[in-house]
Chain A
Amino acid sequence: MSALEPKILMKPDDQLDLTPEELKEEFTRILTANNPHAPNNIVRYSFKERCYKMTMGVNQLAVHFSMDGNMLHKESDEGRRQLARLGLADSGAATEQNLNDMEIPGEEELEVEGEGEEAEKDAPREVPAVKPPETALRNQFNYSERASQTFNNPYRERGTTTEPPPRTNFSATANQWEIFDAYQEDLERQERQKEKQKSRDKDNEKKSKGSSSEPGTGDEIQRIGIPAKIVERMVNQNTHDEIAQDFKYWEDASDEYKGNEGTLLPLWPFKSEKGKKLSVTAVVFNPEYNDMFAVGHGSYDFLKQGAGLICVYSLKNPSFPEFTYTTESGVMTLDFHPEHPWLMAVGFYDGGVAVYNLREKTNVPSYSSSAKNGKHTDTVWQVYWQDNDLDNNLNFFSISSDGRVTCWSLIKNELHNTDIILIKLNHSSSPDPGAGGLDLACGTCFDFHKFTDYLFLVGTEEGKIHKCSKHYSSQYLETYDAHHMAVYAVRWNNFHPRVFASCSADWTVKIWDHNYIEPMFTFDLGNSVGDVVWSPYSATVFGAVTDDGQVHIFDLSQEKYNPLCQQSVVQKKKTKVNHLVFNKHYPVILVGDDRGNALTLKLSPNLRKCLKDKAYSRENEVEKMEKLLELVREPQEEMTA
């Protein structure tokens, strides 16, 4: 039909006949989404508010068509079950089917959603069905994984252990008796302390003087003193071990074959540096300590006079003296006090005397004589301690070449002297008128009787021996024309009350009975005899030393004419042996020579035979001597005492 053809309106039969105005009328028709069939005012009864209420929103949904399909989501339970039932072989076909099924809704959705979904749809197709669904799906293009690890410092182990606190063991028992004992001890200690305190208070009040010369525990070095001394002695003993063994145990076995003869075994020599140039002028053992002895050094030479030296040694330490004292003048004689063994009396070449206290650590004598208080004007040859006098003061006697025998008393801090006797010369002719003053002989030695206190003998340089008494100061009891030259030693016998010995520069040793003016025995020793000493263990044994360095030991009960032992004890020739002394405790004698050496010698058994005698006793000894005397005694008139 062409557009130009007039339009013929064809009216259906049932069309309404309307006027043309009615035909031009516009009718507004609104298209809404409302469901025309849905009511617009539903009222319901609310039990809560007990009234009718209009429901606000009315469901406008009109379902035109519904059909239930057979589709299951493949990941729902039923879907999975079905997949599992179909098996893996069919899983490909099943997945295809699923995928196809998914496509359908996918295509439907494509109209609604944008293209961005396409990529996502691709991804699940590539992913196999077995992959766990929880993995976050990131595309390769926008996302990439990067990871890095920092460098961790390597670990190092460090460990220490602290020192555990120190532990100690302890054990004890707790019994009733232990407790009791401990308490008792404590009570006693307390009581003792109380007593000490009381006595200390008393002492403080009195303030006793003098003998507080204890060194105390002040210095630490002093504390080492005693151990050091012990160590020194030990070292000495080890060094001189053989000698120590000999001293103690050696008995010369060959003595049995020698008959009566004996020998002297040299033991330790004692020397000191300072005393090298001096000769030994005195040796004396300490009465209380058997191993201690004192050696006095001086010089016999008139022209060579110098300082003197006193060394106190111990047999336990032969290398160094225990005490040393230097003196201004040569020492001539020494004596220890029998009861106070730390007091030592010294006589000097210059005529002075002094008393040293060994307890004090000083070099200065406790007492010394001076020109004021009557020291001797000539050499003091001998000093001897005596018993305490009536005032209980210590006193000693000295004899010197100035002819005086003096008694010195230690009164408080001073020496007081009293002349006991003046040794007068007995001149047969009348004294010259020109010689004024007293004629005094020179005393060279003296000895006090062991038993009768007041009796003593004096030997002179003229060779006479005078028997004197302390009570008579001007007269002698007796005079013996003993020797032709100076008498160097006079000694009473230690056992027999009447016998004494004397030795002299005229080479002889004589044994006397003091009741007779003639000697009982005379021995010629071939050289000037320096000293003669009786042995402390026998009345018939005595020893003598001579200027040719020999020691002679006699035993009158064995051999009346010859010495049992005649032995040279010096190293070098031309050494004189000056003094001799026996040790009261050990079979040892000590000799001093003029080179400053003191030598210890051990007496061999033959010389001490009497000691082995079962009947050895004092009385026996005295008897032996008595018998000897009787043998020798020529029928003589006994002198009137």
Chain B
Amino acid sequence: WFTSWGRRIQAVVSTQSTGKDAADKNDPRRLHSFPLIRHSDMAEEMRTEAMELCVTACEKFASSNEAASKMIKENMDKKFGSSWHVVVGEGFGFELTYETKNLLYMFFGGSLAIAVWKCS
């Protein structure tokens, strides 16, 4: 069961600073664009596949979280069985019960967080 506080923080970062500071702040963000798995207890193969899928979806639907999560969910259902749940967003908290060895929680693009889990 999954309850989520869906607070969509519009992460519009306005850096009104001098050139140096802006460069410093931009660099970490640029560096943070790679996908980073925060917590996962999936098998190795499943994990890589799911991660690739998430990255593809988020890049394709960069503007719409809903479309991205829809794509992820449908693909996961097809590949790994029914009842996957996907949350894509920038600011939320969650507490979920999931089928063991079917959870992936990762960050992407410096500001997106994606939680994918299976529960029937």
Residues of A within 8 A of B (CB): 165-176, 178-180, 182-184, 186-187
**Pick the contact of B32 from A167, A173, A178, A180 — CB < 8 Å?**
A180
Query: How distant is B102 from chain A, measured CB to nearest CB, in Å?
Result: 8
**Pick the contact of A167 from B38, B94, B97 — CB < 8 Å?**
B97
**Pick the contact of B99 from A167, A173, A178, A187 — CB < 8 Å?**
A167
Chain B residue contacts of A172, Cβ below 8 A: 38-39, 93-94, 105, 115
Chain B residue contacts of A176, Cβ below 8 A: 9, 11, 90-91, 111
Chain A residue contacts of B92, Cβ below 8 A: 173-174
**Pick the contact of A165 from B94, B99, B103, B107 — CB < 8 Å?**
B99
* B92-112 interface with A by 8 A CB criterion: 92-100, 103, 105, 107, 110-112
Looking at chain A's contact residues, is the secondary structure mostly helix, strand, loop, or mixed?
A: mixed
Chain B residue contacts of A165, Cβ below 8 A: 99-100, 120
Chain A residue contacts of B31, Cβ below 8 A: 183, 187
A170 touches B36 (CB 8 A): no
Query: How distant is A175 from chain B, measured CB to nearest CB, in Å?
Result: 5
A172 to B90, CA, bound (A): 13
* B62-120 interface with A by 8 A CB criterion: 89-100, 103, 105, 107, 110-113, 115, 117, 119-120
* Residue of A165, A167, A174, A180 with highest tally of chain B CB at under 10 A: A174
A167 touches B119 (CB 8 A): yes
A168 to B89, CA, bound (A): 22
Q: Can you list 27 residue pairs at the A/B interface with Cβ under 8 Å? A: A165-B120, A167-B98, A167-B99, A167-B100, A167-B119, A168-B41, A168-B97, A168-B99, A168-B100, A168-B103, A170-B103, A171-B95, A172-B38, A172-B39, A172-B105, A173-B92, A173-B94, A174-B89, A174-B113, A174-B115, A176-B11, A176-B111, A178-B113, A179-B32, A182-B38, A182-B107, A183-B28
A170 touches B90 (CB 8 A): no
B36 touches A183 (CB 8 A): yes
B98 touches A168 (CB 8 A): yes
Residues of B within 8 A of A (CB): 9, 11, 28, 31-32, 36, 38-39, 41, 89-100, 103, 105, 107, 110-113, 115, 117, 119-120
A173-B92, A182-B38, A183-B110 provided; 5 other pairs, C-beta below 8 A? A172-B94, A173-B94, A174-B115, A175-B9, A176-B11
For B32, the closest partner residue in chain A by CB is: A183
Q: List the 4 closest A-B pairs by CB distance, nearest first.
A: A174-B113, A183-B32, A171-B95, A173-B93
A165 to B98, CA, bound (A): 10
Chain A residue contacts of B96, Cβ below 8 A: 169-171
Chain B residue contacts of A187, Cβ below 8 A: 28, 31-32
Chain B residue contacts of A182, Cβ below 8 A: 36, 38, 107
Query: How distant is A171 from chain B, measured CB to nearest CB, in Å?
Result: 4
A167 to B1, CA, bound (A): 11
Query: How distant is A13 from chain B, measured CB to nearest CB, in Å?
Result: 122
Chain B residue contacts of A183, Cβ below 8 A: 28, 31-32, 36, 107, 110
A187 to B112, CA, bound (A): 17
Chain B residue contacts of A186, Cβ below 8 A: 36
Chain A residue contacts of B9, Cβ below 8 A: 175-176
Chain A residue contacts of B41, Cβ below 8 A: 168
For B4, the closest partner residue in chain A by CB is: A174
B91 touches A169 (CB 8 A): no
Chain A residue contacts of B112, Cβ below 8 A: 179
**Pick the contact of B28 from A170, A175, A184 — CB < 8 Å?**
A184
Query: How distant is B66 from chain A, measured CB to nearest CB, in Å?
Result: 16
Query: How distant is A18 from chain B, measured CB to nearest CB, in Å?
Result: 119
A184 to B27, CA, bound (A): 11
A183 to B36, CA, bound (A): 7
Query: How distant is B116 from chain A, measured CB to nearest CB, in Å?
Result: 11
Given known A173-B92, A176-B111, contact A166–B99 (CB-CB < 8 A)? yes
Chain A residue contacts of B115, Cβ below 8 A: 172, 174
Chain B residue contacts of A174, Cβ below 8 A: 89-94, 107, 113, 115
Query: How distant is A530 from chain B, measured CB to nearest CB, in Å?
Result: 67
**Pick the contact of B91 from A167, A175, A184 — CB < 8 Å?**
A175
A170 touches B91 (CB 8 A): no
For A183, the closest partner residue in chain B by CB is: B32
B111 touches A179 (CB 8 A): yes
A179 touches B39 (CB 8 A): no
B117 touches A170 (CB 8 A): yes
A182 to B31, CA, bound (A): 12
A179 touches B110 (CB 8 A): yes
Chain A residue contacts of B119, Cβ below 8 A: 167
Chain A residue contacts of B120, Cβ below 8 A: 165
Given known A171-B94, A174-B89, A187-B31, contact A179–B113 (CB-CB < 8 A)? yes
B94 touches A169 (CB 8 A): no
Chain B residue contacts of A167, Cβ below 8 A: 97-100, 119
* Residue of B11, B41, B98, B103 with highest tally of chain A CB at under 10 A: B98
* Residue of A169, A171, A179 with highest tally of chain B CB at under 10 A: A179
A167 to B120, CA, bound (A): 10
A524 to B69, CA, bound (A): 95
A180 to B36, CA, bound (A): 11
Given known A167-B119, A172-B38, A174-B93, contact A179–B99 (CB-CB < 8 A)? no
Query: How distant is B60 from chain A, measured CB to nearest CB, in Å?
Result: 20
Query: How distant is A312 from chain B, measured CB to nearest CB, in Å?
Result: 46
A187 to B29, CA, bound (A): 12
B98 touches A170 (CB 8 A): yes
For A169, the closest partner residue in chain B by CB is: B97
A172 to B87, CA, bound (A): 12
Chain B residue contacts of A170, Cβ below 8 A: 39, 95-98, 103, 105, 117
